[in-house]
Each structure stands twice: as structure tokens, then as C-alpha cells.
Amino acid sequence: MTKNKADNISKFVSEVMRALEGRDSVTIAELTENLEADLRERQEEEGDAFQLGDSKVFAAELLQGAGLSGGINTASRLQRFVSEILWNIWSAISAIRPAWWVFRGLMAYSAIWFILLKQSKSVPGSPVEWLAFLGLMFASVQIGRANLKQWWARLPLAALNVLALLVGMFWVNDIVNVRNDYSRLKSFSESNLLIYQGQPVTFAFAYDKNGVPLPMTSLKTAGGNLMFAQPTEDALSPALEALKGKSLTEANWALAKMNVTASETLYESVPAEPKDRVLRVQKVSDGNGGWVVVLIVAN
Amino acid sequence: MDSSQLLKGVLDTAVLAVLENEDGYGYDIVRRLRESGIDEIGDATVYGTLRRLYAGGLLRTYVVPSEDGPHRKYYAINDEGLRVLNGQRKTWVTFAETMSRLLGVAATDSNKGKSK
């Protein structure tokens, strides 16, 4: 086929698509899919006898054959623009459908595991579990590829998809929680904080056998490593000043990092300030020779 | 009589019948229809019909990769399509018998009229 004839076919297909403008993009794509290849094939078979004809008549015949009412190219520019955007969104969604089929299989495995054994599990362990896992994934992909059209098949499938989406939300939430826990533990392990049952210790007092508080400035391990120390007042002052204007969470976190173990929070009603904003920082005696940092926070 | 109008009425059945024998892509189906004697229907009408039958749940599609050109979308008749085709087959036989009988009588009458 000469380049000129090939160009004519490309131009003809473009004209047909233009004549179909106003239809939704999915319809246009379905009606003109492989059209250029078909016309080229026909051109090669018929040679010089082949005639392309009128693109508008061709487009009208396409619509009539497809049982679509209305004429050609009647949509406004806005409708065509919206249609194009929808088509692009649909194309993007269609492109990731196989990934969804695999994910749906994974969710089916997680859901069945949870229903049968009341346990959360997403990665198989034994060969039988792997078999079930791969079987469900294969089934999900096959169902997706089947592209079911009948309503009685699509209805339960839609319900299953919604179910998979819900399970997926819990699944993602679990992953996020695990990641957050891991980040917190990592942060704790890298800090000088004293941790008890997963939480930073903000108060630590030592007592003798009679229950009398013992003066204490630091805690050390049996090997002599410092676990916990009261900061000196001189070093603390500028750092405490810097807490003003921070949120309560940020301030508490900063105090924990400074190894300040004794702190209290007082709330003060200041409508002009955002809630939980640190307004002032004070140091007051605890009555045992130590002191407590008091955060005055907007309520 | 304009046979293209008659063909439009039975094009769905013709397309389903072509696909009952073998799956095919757009132009392949047009060609097989023409080879079977249906040559008064435009390509576009057949393409539109394929899309309609597919949307109606009578056909399924799959893509066959091609090294020479673009991938081809093949149409295949599904169980629902076969069920509809079998129904249409029975309807056609009854209709054709009725029309043949009717036209046979009419033709005889016409000949009689001419011979008078």
C-alpha cells in the first residue's frame, strides 16, 4: 500500500471519529476500534476498486447499526470536553484493572481467612495456604478477564467488588498502623527515652523502703550506661522558651527528648489562640528538691 | 424489492450465525458475510451491529496480538448468543415456510392473471 493511500485511510478514520463527536468517548472507541486496520486490509484485497466513501455516511451507519439514536456530531464543545475527560479517566482505570483483579484475589483470601479462623492474615504460610491463595487470585483474574455482561452475573460481582474494597480499607489501615508502630518504636529506640510498656516515661521517682522519696538525678543500667537523666536547669531554659507557640503534642514530644520527666499541663481560655497552642512555660518546685515544667496551653 | 432492507432485519441473526462457526474480527466477519452472499450491507452497519450485540451480552471479545499490525479485537458468540441464535433459527424457518407458501400462491395467481 502506498503512503498516500495509507494516509487517506488514517484521515478517513479521523473524520469518522470527528463525525461521532458528541457521543461518549467509550462508544466512539468501541465503534472505531481496529477500523483503520480493517480498512487497510480491505484496501489490500480490493486494490484500486476500493473506495472509502463519505466519512459522515459511514459514521451514521455505524450509529444506526449499533442501534444508537440521534445523528452525528451534535454535542456542544463542553460536552465533548467532559466526555474526553471521562474517557481519559476510564482509560486510566481500565489500565489498572488487572492490578485490581490481583488485589481482589488477595482480599478474598484475607476475608476467608478472617471469617473461618477469626485471624488477620494476608501472606500464606503452608503449601495449602499458598494453593488457596493462588487459586483465589487466579479465579479473580479469570472473572475479570471474562468481562461479564449479564446483569445476573454483574450484580453479585459488583457486591463482591464492594466487599473487596471494604476489606482492602481495613487491610491498608492495618499496614498503616503497623508502619506507625514501627516508626514509633524505631524513634524510641534511637532516643534516650526511658520506655515502659511502649510508652515514654515522663516521671520517674525513687523511694526508699519506708516510702520516702530519694533524691535522684539519673538512672543507669547495671553496666553503667545512662538510661535517664534530669537535665540541668541552665541548659534547659532556652529550650523551654522555644516551646512557646508550639502545639501541645510537639511540646510534649520535645520535653521527652530533653529528658524532662516532670511536666504538667494547665489550660487557659484564650479565644484568639488556636486550641492546644503553648502560651507560656514555667518551672515550679515539686516540693522534693526537684521541679516540674508546667505548660500553659490555650483551651 | 429492496433486499438491503430485508437484510437489515436479519443481520443480527446472520452475524451470530457467522460467529457460530468461527470467531472473527470486524472485517473478517464482513468478508465472511459477503462470501455467504450478503453483500448489500455496508461495513459500518456490520461494525455497529457487532458493537450492539456485544453490548447486549450476546458476544464476548478478546484481543489477539499481531506482530504485523495492531492487535485485533476478536468477537466470539457466547452461551446467551447461541440461545438467541437458536431461537431466531426456529423463527426464521417458520417465517420462511409461511412466506414461501404465501408467495408460491401469489406467483401462481400472477401467472394465471398473465395467461388470461
Using a CB-CB cut-off of 8 Å, the residues of chain A touching B25 are: 34, 38
Instruction: Name the least confident of A118-127, B57-66, B106-115.
Output: B106-115
Q: What is the pLDDT of residues A195-206, one digit of tens each?
A: 676 666 655 666
Residue A295 has pLDDT above 50, yes or no: yes
Chosen from B38, B39, B43, B60 to mutate, greatest number of chain A CBs within 10 A: B43
Residue B115 has pLDDT above 50, yes or no: no
User: What residues does B62 pair with on adjacent strands?
Assistant: B74
| pLDDT category of residue B110 using cuts at 50, 70 and 90 | very low
Backbone angles phi and psi of A192, in degrees to 5? -95, 15
Nearest chain A Cα to B15, which residue? A65
Note whether A61 contacts B45, CB cutoff 8 Å: yes
| pLDDT category of residue A137 using cuts at 50, 70 and 90 | confident
Q: For B98-116, what is the mean pLDDT?
A: 60
DSSP alpha helix (H) spans, A191-261: 233-241, 248-257
Sign of CA dihedral A114, A120, A126, A129: positive
CB A233 within 8 A of CB A283: yes
Note whether B45 contacts A65, CB cutoff 8 Å: yes
Single pTM value for the model: 0.44
pLDDT at position B107 is 42
Q: Which residue in B43, B52, B60 is closest to A66 by CB distance?
A: B52
Q: For B32-44, what is the mean pLDDT?
A: 89
Residue A191 has pLDDT above 80, yes or no: no
Task: Express the helix, strand and coil content of chain B in percent, nearest 5 each.
Answer: 70, 10, 20
pLDDT at position A15 is 87
